[in-house]
Structure formats: C-alpha cells, structure tokens
Amino acid sequence: MVLIFITLELRFSTTLINLDFLQSYVPSETPSGLKRYRKKEIENLRGDGTGERKTWDRIYDYDVYNDLGDPDSNPDLARPVLGGNKQYPYPRRCRTGRPKSKKDPLSESRSNNVYVPRDEQFSEIKGGTFTTTTAYSLLHVIAPALEGIIENRDQGFPYFTEIDSLFNEGIHIPSVNETLFDVIPNLLKAMADTGNHVLLFETPQFVDRDKFGWLRDVEFSRQTLAGLNPCCIELVKEWPLKSKLDPKVYGPAESAITTELVEQQIKGVFTVEEALKQKKLFMLDYHDILLPYVERVRKQEGTTLYGSRTLFYLTPDNTLTPVAIELVCPPIDGRPQYKEVFTPTWSSTRMWLWKLARAHVLAHDSGIHQLVSHWLRTHCCTEPYIIASKRQLSEMHPIYRLLSPHFRYTMEINALARLRLINADGIIEQSFTPMKYSTELSAIAYDKLWRFDYQALPADLINRGMAEPDPTPEDPDNLKLTITDYPYANDGLLLWRYLREWVTAYVKHYYPKAESIKSDEELQAWWTEIRTVGHGDKKDEPWWPVLNTPEDLIGIVTTMIWVTSGHHAAVNFGQYDYAGYFPNRPTIARTTMPTEFPSEEKKKQFMRRPELELLTCFPSQLQATTVMAVLHILSSHSPDEEYLGDIIEPAWVTDPVIKSAFEKFQGRLKELEAEIDRRNIDENLRNRSGAGVVPYELLKPFSEKGVTAKGVPYSISI
C-alpha cells in the first residue's frame, strides 16, 4: 500500500521522497524484505469476487457486459448479455457487484454511478477539464434541452442552409446550467441581450477548407485511406464477389457487381483479371456483417439498413476512385431479395441515386467505425489488459511500469460510456444505424473479426491485403504497401517502428534471456489471465501469441501500446473535423432507396425534389445536433493531456539505461513530427495534400488543447 501512494505522489512531485523507491524489480530479484509486501499487495487488489464495490475500493475483478440494458425501468430497454456465452462472445469489464435486475436475473441493475477502482479514477485536474465531466454534463443538460427545443424528434433538415446555420447562428437554448457553460465555452455562447445561451458549433476543419468536398467522389474515396476510419479498406482477393451467408435465408450469394460492369466503369484500362493480379481493386465490405441485422433493424422506427459492398479502383496517381456500390436487403415479409448496384454517372437521376447510395454506405461506415474500430478495438478490448495488470503484476514489476501510462483513465472513461453512450437508449443507440442492436453488432464483430495478433498494425495491414512483407538487411520487419500513398499506414508504420524500438530496449534490459521470461511467474500469470479470463471467450483460439522469449513479450506489449496510443488517436481525434459536418459522414440512414419496391408517390417525390430525399435520409435535427456536440467533446484534448513521449515517467528516470532509451524515443517522435509535416506539403501525395485537402495529422505526436485533429496521447483517456 505504501508503495502505491509513493508512486502516485511522485507523479506530481519527485522531490518529496527518494527516487530509490521507484526501482523496478522482476519477481526473482525483489529484495527479500519486500517480497511479502509485493505478494500481499497483489492479493488485496484481486479481492474475493463477492459483494458490491464501493467508491473507495481498490478491487479489480471481471464481469460480463450485463449492465447496458435497463429492463426494470422499461421492457424495451432489455439487452442481451455480452460475454460468457457462445451467441455473443465479448471481452470482460470490471466487476461492480451491483444487485441483479428484478426482471432479468442475468443482468445487473443500473445506477447513476458505476464503480471504478480508486486508482483508475480521474485526478482532480483531469476530472475538472471539459473533456471528462463535460461528456456527462452534456448528456444530462444539452441533450434534454435539445429535445425540448426540437419538438419533433424525427424532424429532418428541410434545406442545406439550415445545416449551415448550426455554425453561424446556432441553436438558442433558453436555460442551461452555468457550470456547463464554464466547462464547454467553445460550444456554448452567451447572449448578452437576453441572458440565454446558444449552442454554436465550431466550423469543422474539413468544411472550413472545402465546403463542397463532401459531394465529391474523390474525397469520399480519399477518406477511406486518410479519414476517420482508415482501418476497413481491403484488397479484393477473390472474384466474383460472393457472400458466405446461407442463401436459403438471405437470398442468392452472388454479388450483382459483375465483371462487365467493372470493366465498363474503369473504361477498359484493365480486365478484372488483370486488375486483380496488379492489385488495383479495393473494397469496403459490410455485406455479411450487416445483412443478418437488416430485418430486425428495419422493424425500428426512423432507420433502415442494407448489407453493402463498395468497390474502388486504384488510379495511376495512387488515389482511389469509386466503381460501384451494392446495397442488399434479404427476403422480408414475402418480398424477394432486393439487390441493386449504383455507379457514378452524369445522368441526373442516377447521379442522385448514387449520392443516396453513398449516404447509406457512409452510415454503415460510421457505425462500424464507432462500434468496432473505435469502441471494440480500443476501449473495450483494452480493459482486460488493465485488470490483469493490476491483479497479476506488482507495481514494482517493470512491465507494469512500462504499460501503466498507457492504461491511465481508460477504465473510468469506459464506465462513463456504459453509463450514457453505449447503454440502452443512449447516444449511440439513438443516433447510429443499428440503433438498439449497436453493441450486439460489436459482439458479432468481436466473434468473427477480432484477433489479438491482428491488432498489431503490420499484421492488420497484411491481413487486409494493404501490405506485404518486404524484409531488408537493415529492417527485417519492413513492409511494402499495396497503396503507397496510404497516410494512416505511412505514418502509423513509422510510429509503430519507434514504439517497437523503445519497447525492445526496455524489455531486453530487464529480460536479456528467454529463461527470465519463462521463470517470471507474475508475467506468465498476467498473460494467461488476459487470454483465459479477460478475453476468455476466445481462450481456445490458436492465434494467441506464446510468451516464451523477449521477442514474444516485445510483440505483445508493442501491440497493446499501439492500440492505446496510435490506433485510438487515429480513430478518435478526427471525429469532429470529419463528422461534425454530418453530410460528410451521416451516422444513420433513415429511409430506403427510392428504387426499392417504390410506390408511384415515392417515385414522383424523388423526381420532383431529389435533394429532399437526401435530406430526409440524413439524421434528424435532434440526432445530428446531439451527435455533433458529443463528437466535439470526444475529439478534444484536455489542457493536461499526456502525450506519447512527452514526459518521462518517474520510474524510468532512476535507471540510466531506460532513461537513455526513452530520450532516444523522444527524439524519434520529433523526427516523426517533422516527417509528417514534410509529407503533408508533398504535392505528389494527393491523399494528404492539395487544395482544400485536410492534411493528415492524426498520428502527429503532440497537440495543443481542444479540437485539433492531431496528437497521440499515451492512453485512451476520452
């Protein structure tokens, strides 16, 4: 216990005690006088798995996600348990021990506070900044205020000028908590003459640079490589495209994107066979993961869904151009499977249909981004690493001290997400396409798509066909990118390399031989618990890395650090700049395509005013403004943000070897900053440079406070 308080105190004043207390020890080298305390401290943190946790506790234990629903208040708010069952496997969360629901004994009852171990709670500085308390206040004050002002929650925007007014006139809010005004001054503006407030949105960088960029196909394509969700684009490896779902349930498996159509769209430059061989065709494939949800999602009011495929062609200048969008609806209510392909065209009717189809795909991409690339792959999957580290690694353990800054505040931000964002009828369910099936969909993605080894950036790129190994004597881990101008991968691989260099120096200092890895009982228990308990629903998968050598440990730890720093930064801090102007990235598509079993009236309405069809498909005013406000908060850096490599941890100062390795890492990050700046002014790199193009800075290590679309913090702290 004493060592814990010493460590925490040192984060704020290293002059208070002797730094010798921060010496790191592997278990076998622990001074005899500390061994008993080391073991006892870990035992205390584990608890006994019983009782309801209190705010002052420091207990770390596991539970399934059975606290997202609220059946006691409303049967419609019941949600399935995620984790611990074959239907919905899921990572584990921290156990709170709250009483069981009265109406669903498998679920936990909800309360306005969620237990977070005391060591994981926000500091006074962090807790007082707008990026933490504001998210909670926003949902309790702004969201209800918007509901009161916008009487019809399904009302859309009648004109695009109404969308523009959000950035130059704002929304008048009659009354608001003054504390909220203090913590989010960038969003709330005071009206001196009336005393009222205005929710006035900052103009996102994307629309500030090019107001009409969202209309262009080249920008739509560019953002798959350099936008908010650059983790899903993949190389087309098989042709023809075909679903793996049961055709007896979902209809014919063959895609309607034919060879003839593709060759016509790429103007005969290549045959499809040649394009595949030369790696020219790429795809966003949300067909099989979304199609099983189409019927259930469509039974909800105010939304619709398709399975979708979007095909792109790689041009000679290393940019993508869209070839086709396929939207599919399985047989429903006696109707046959609906399957239609839309292509870019100059025909007025087909052009508007293309824009509508693109809006549907963007809504699909927004949902997959938020639920899979963001929530699942970073926040959700990291929590078991944190719990296992506390339960199995002493705070004197060198790997605990290496990982500790990368786990800071994550459990509390996850608890806030379960409280108000991903819960039943929370912001995600109200405003994103899957609605009540949102977190359930993330469980399906975890089941079918998530592998620990693929969370390493190089492995992820290779798996998606976006890179292949290209070893050199100087760099045996070198990759050759399939698309050489791929900003997320270009910058990410440099950051990955520097992270791995730092981790390698650190690990090999404490573990010079394989025997020292195998004999470290804390380390082995830690990795075993992550695999068999924290991610227990996947404990029997053959792809889990073994932990026998220093190289094994380097790979495991670098992957964890990349996910909590680089990957999270890439999918989080651009949210407002790219999605704040929601026509660029609508979170929901509310209406079906006009060509899907259309009525005569629907045809006439579309032909008379196609713009209205698009505006009606977009999120409602309430959905759009609420999400915009939330994204502004989630994209913001707090004034006390701790950036990767910015400040050395006190425990690293005491060892000259580690201190020197960290200083080298700091120098590498400055090199990365300079290289990103250089790349962003290179006119040959058209996916990150050009008139009106937002430069790619999401993996630039450091940032100012606020919404900047750059900066890589140590941890998932927002």
Show which residues are catalytic. Answer: 374, 379, 568, 572, 718
Question: What is the C-alpha to C-alpha distance for residues 262 and 266, in angstroms, rounded to an integer?
Answer: 6
b/e 199-234 (16+ beta carbons within 10 angstroms → b):
bbbbbbbbbeebeebbeeebbbbbbbbbbbbbbbbb
Report cis status (omega within 30 of 0) of the bond before 240: yes
Residue 65 in contact with residue 439, Cβ under 8 Å?
yes
Closest alpha carbon to 444 in 80, 95, 77, 63: 80
Three-state SS letters, 280-297:
CEEEEECHHHHHHHHHHH
Backbone angles phi, psi at 296, to 5 degrees: -70, -40
Distance in angstroms between the alpha carbons of the first and the last residue of the chain: 28
**What residues contact residue 26 under an 8 Å CB cut-off, 6+ apart?**
397, 398, 510, 511, 516, 520, 522, 523
For the packed helices 398-407 and 381-392, what is the interaxial angle rounded to 10 degrees?
140
Q: 3-class DSSP state for residue 199?
A: strand
- DSSP E strands, 76-180: 93-94, 171-173
User: Distance between CA 535 and CA 391 in Å, rounded?
Assistant: 15
Separation between Cα atoms, residue 308 and residue 290, nearest integer Å:
8
User: Which residues neighbour 326 within 8 Å (Cβ) at sequence distance 6 or greater?
Assistant: 255, 256, 257, 287, 308, 309, 310, 311, 339, 340, 341, 342
What is the per-residue DSSP string for 47-95? --S-S---TT-----EE-B--S--TTT-GGG--PPBSSSSSS----EE-
Q: Give 47-56's long-range contacts (Cβ < 8 A, gap of 24+).
A: 49/95, 50/97, 51/97, 52/96, 52/97, 52/98, 52/99, 52/115, 53/95, 53/96, 53/97, 53/115, 53/117, 54/115, 55/113, 55/115, 55/118, 56/118
